[in-house]
Structure 1
Amino acid sequence: MKGPDYYIPAAAMAISLVCKLPALRTNWRDPLLRSVCFLLLLAGAVFTFAAPPTIEAVNRWTGIPNFSAPLVYCLMTAFSASCLVLVFNWRGGPAEEIRHTSLRWIAGYSVVISAIVVLFALGSAPVERLVDFDTYYANTPYIRLMIASYLLAHNVAVMMMVSMCWRWSLQVCGWLRAGLLIIVSGYAISLAYDAAKMSAVAARWLGHDLDFLSTLVAPPLASAGALVSSVGFVLPLLYQRVSDSWRTWSTYRNLGALWQEVQSTAPSGTPGVRMSWWSPAEIRVIQRESDIHDGFLRLGPCFDRRHRDTAYERALAAGADEETARAVADAAMVAAAVTVCAAHPEAAGSEEDQAEQNRVLLTADGPRDLVRISHALRHSPLVAAARRQAAPAGG
């Protein structure tokens, strides 16, 4: 593999990390989000520093032949630990238990990282090797222990990931299960990487030459395994983000009928809150709900519980469930109040004066589902009937 074969996956990881940074700034205390960002950072660093051009540059900058070898091994070991920590946080459970488990694995892999640094310092690797360091120094005192340490640590992490993700996938469904199965596939490829590397090193120990497994077979497997695993990590989280956004925009759109109904009673010249086109959907929903509640306050003097009670009884008689009947009843009372208010604008009071009257609608029998009320306002014939009944009273 050449430089671009390493830098392209590193760029993909960097782009994913940049997309996550805004969320990280606002939710720094979220352990799952921190774990995802740290994993993407380490994955990008592994590919960047494992590229032969970067290896050569780092060796030249430090003035130490093969300085890149322990650096890459340490990054790979830290990446292995970050994968385990991410799965622990992703799977969920008691926060204290997750924290203790994560700390134990981090401590264990920190010991391996320290051992890699110490063993490299004790060993001797004077000849620079850009692509075949593992096999070239497989029989060198201390260096061979360093190589074995990072390969063993990586292999343990890979097997743990395959085992945990497979067991977890049997307990869930949907996009989460698909993501876990993709992760299992990616780490199965990583197992093949470990097998190729270990076979090449073991062959050197036994006096044979299988260096091509380390230099030609293992690198593409490492790249493929990391990319496939990253897709598995990102896919469920991306689906959750898209799903949440879709639900929020749907709520905003579904509130439109109720919002337009109560806004029609707003005094002329009332300044509205202008939302920029890039305003988040969550802010738009909050603002629309606030406008609706303000409209309820204005309509307080015009609310007639008789319209509500009549629509409620008719909805139940027509076979509607309790929640739907309540929504239809509230929508009927709102529609009738708007009709009356339109005929007699002076009937509407100030928000402060009518807060007590409005409390009947907002808090009696629990909070109302505004989306259900909006849907009933648009589609229920009982609401249209209440509007017609209120029209004569309004003139």
Structure 2
Amino acid sequence: MTQSTTEQTPLRIVHVVRSPVGGIFRHIADLASAQADAGHQVGVVCDSLTGGAFEAEKIAAILPKLALGSVRLPIAREIAPSDLRAMAKVKAALTPLEPQIIHAHGAKGGVFGRLVGAWMGRSRPIARFYAPHGGSLHYDSRSAEGRLYFAVERALERITDAMIHVSGYEAETYVAKVGRPRCEAFVVRNGLTPPEFELVEPAPDAVDFLFLGMLRDLKGVDVFIEALAKLAAGRAAPTAVIVGDGPDEARYRAMVAERGLADRVSFRPPTQTRDAFRLARAVVVPSRAESMPYVVLEAIAAGLPMVCTRVGGVPEIFGPFADELIPPGDADALAAAMAALAADPEAAKAAALARRAHVGDEFSLKEMSARIENIYRNAIEIRLTRR
């Protein structure tokens, strides 16, 4: 990629996303903060229907860095008649901000951001970028929903300057399900800040295992509970904490009660990641699908023993340690891996520190932000040469 001649010019950047929760918003918050620190003017547009006090606090935490502010307005998760009204509101919010860059994230954000950017771009140049973060790529290409979403993805390539994937796996999945992009496409993996590489020590009353994330089947919470039940039926009787919220929380609480685990498994609302890490001696990530999950990066950087499934971009994070990963959706394999970890805590800690050294060399927020800025600037340069 060539160096842009506009390198020193501050940019006006707006990130558009539907759901301000989980790893996708962690990515946006980190990137927006780094961009603001680099001297750019940054704003965020996101949904007002998703999340609660925890998410509101996250938005408030980055607000001082957002020179272009934060706008929340109602955006339905699924395709709905209200989308036209919501899109008009997104345009009304973006127009006075006069962005040079619209960086759209996730399936719905990708549609809104690129369509509004193209609409506004009729009067002045606006570069449009799209990061799927898994999103529609989780759909089966044989399903009616999948075919619809992938057709939309294909059509929107024509108004996209570049796609920015967070993992090689995501880029490959896009090609397999949608087709080879008719715009430029790059892989820029998520990165962490130096303080996140400080070791986390478990609290004195820490339980054996932690699940941290959205409470939905895609994240494998049901598999985690089944694995705990299998261990409890044998000699081991592990303790665990499930931290997060989501659409399937009530069902998971019922599963825990039905399997006689209520005295050994507790639930807690979303909390800061490193505070959650102190609640347990090991982290379990039993996901059925992921792209480039922050929780895996953060747990490894914190030096925590962990059990994780082989999904999405996780093998890219584990690198030379990818053979430690287990198949998704397999409660027996998960239980066996958890039992092995608990049986030899010293070996588990040594393995955790080896993974930490690897991640420290490969994943950096500074590098992530710099690469994305270079992608932006090259797209702007191309647009300027076409005028």
TM-score, with structure 2 as normaliser: 0.26
Larger Rg: 1
Greater helix share, structure number: 1
TM-score, with structure 1 as normaliser: 0.26
Greater strand share, structure number: 2
